[in-house]
């Protein structure tokens, strides 16, 4: 039975220990006394699963937004050189808004 990190993370310590019981792996020695964090890392190593959650952006084109951020950063650098503080403030706010847009769309 192939398990994902999310499934393992949702299990209780007792359930994780039951899963570890049938696996022979160096990092799992002493699984009956391990805490959940340590046991989860060891199980992921034993099963060949990446030990972190994957996040994805839903609802927006992340590449296009990041490209816009890059162009605005170049514009920001030019505005810093020219000293136009009003336009600089506007560009910085737009960069911040786009970054927040990506963050809100991340699931």
DSSP characters over 74-103? HHHHHHHHHT-HHHHHHHHHHHHHHHHHHH
State whether 43 and 68 are in the same domain: no
Same domain as 101, residue 66: yes
2 has pLDDT over 90: no
pLDDT value for 1 = 55
Tell me if 70 is assigned to some domain.
yes
Residue 17 within any structural domain of the chain: yes
57 lies in a domain? no
Residue 66 DSSP label:
H
Q: Is residue 56 assigned to a domain?
A: no
Domain count of the fold of the chain: 2
- Closest residue by Cα to residue 73 from 103, 99, 106: 99
Q: Are residues 42 and 66 in the same domain?
A: no
Q: What is the pLDDT of residues 26-57, one digit of tens each?
A: 989 999 999 999 999 999 999 998 888 778 99
C-alpha closest to that of 46 among 63, 28, 64: 28
- Give the helix ranges, DSSP H, for the chain: 5-10, 13-21, 36-47, 62-82, 85-105
Residue 11, domain extent: 5-47
């Amino acid at each position: 039975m192939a398990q994902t990190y999310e499934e393992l993370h949702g299990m209780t310590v007792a359930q994780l220990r039951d899963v570890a019981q049938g696996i022979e792996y160096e990092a799992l020695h002493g699984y009956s006394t391990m805490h959940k964090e340590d046991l989860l890392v060891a199980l992921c190593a034993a099963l060949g699963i990446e030990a972190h959650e994957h996040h994805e952006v839903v609802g927006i084109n992340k590449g296009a937004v990041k490209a816009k951020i890059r162009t605005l950063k170049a514009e920001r650098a030019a505005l810093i050189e020219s000293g136009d503080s009003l336009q600089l403030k506007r560009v910085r706010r737009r960069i911040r808004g786009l970054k927040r847009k990506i963050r809100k769309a991340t699931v």
